[in-house]
Amino acid sequence: MPEALFDLSAEYSQMLNQGIRLSGEGQEFFIHGRLQSLPARLPPDFRPRRILDFGCGIGTATRRLSEKFPHAEIVGVDTSGKALEYGTEHYGSGRVRFRPLAQLPEENDFDLCYVNGVFHHIEPAQRMGAIEAIYRALRPGGHLTLFENNPWNPGTRLVMSRIPFDRDAIPLPLPEARRLVRAGGFTAAPQSWTLFYFPRPLAFLRPTEGLLSHLPLGAQYCVLAAK
């Protein structure tokens, strides 16, 4: 992800919310929804000790991961020094650290890797290298949760067109993401589901989203795979 995306790290959330406010919700709603979708899909006894936030940006989700998994060490990695400085200043602690992506090979033995909205910023020819880097960082049996914007959802495309750093991104459909994960060495049959079907005016329908999660039409999807 180009450094220029986070030259204005303090304004990142403002730019993001500029786009997603069409849904009637803010950034925290979507972080919460992603994290809430995981427990039912991860093994019942899953208790991660170390979590990697790959492409952490300014660390907003990193902080939420530390709250969701209070006994885990969280390491956020990114290519932007400014974003990492922001994350360290605002969210860093004894068990939450931020490091440059180039130093990821020095880290290993992660139980879980969380990735959200990163791969559409990676050039297609470089995506396999990113998947392989994640694979190496996970311990045997570790899990990858790859969340991405769903280009088959028209609302997602509209939202991305309104976000300055998403306008030139190259989305990847769910089938492509599943192939990428499998080619990177992960389980041959990864799980996948979609999220976020209804905007706030239709919030009364959100209890039905669990019944729709197998359809590739939500605003985002997740691919879950194990090493």
DSSP summary character for residue 36: H
Cα distances from 158 to residues 17, 99, 167, in angstroms, run 13, 32, 10
pLDDT tens digits for 179-227?
A: 999 999 998 889 999 999 999 999 999 999 999 999 999 999 999 999 9
Q: Which of 29, 6, 7 is nearest to 17 (CA)?
A: 29
User: CA 210, CA 203: separation in Å to the nearest integer?
Assistant: 13
Backbone angles phi, psi at 139, to 5 degrees: -75, 160
Structural domain count, the chain = 1
The CATH number of the domain holding residue 86 is 3.40.50.150
Residues 74, 62 contacting (CB under 8 angstroms): yes
> What is the amino acid identity at position 219?
A
Q: Could you write out the DSSP letters of every residue in 126-142? A: GHHHHHHHHHHHEEEEE
pLDDT tens digits for 31-71?
A: 999 999 999 999 999 999 999 999 999 999 999 999 999 99
Q: Is the pTM of this model over 0.75?
A: yes
Domain that holds residue 10: 3-226
Residues 126, 179 contacting (CB under 8 angstroms): no
pLDDT tens digits for 100-145?
A: 999 999 998 999 999 999 999 999 999 999 999 999 999 999 999 9
121 half-sphere exposure, CB direction, 13 A CA radius: 22
Q: What is the dihedral of CA 199, 200, 204, 205, to 10 degrees?
A: 10
Residues 172, 180 contacting (CB under 8 angstroms): yes
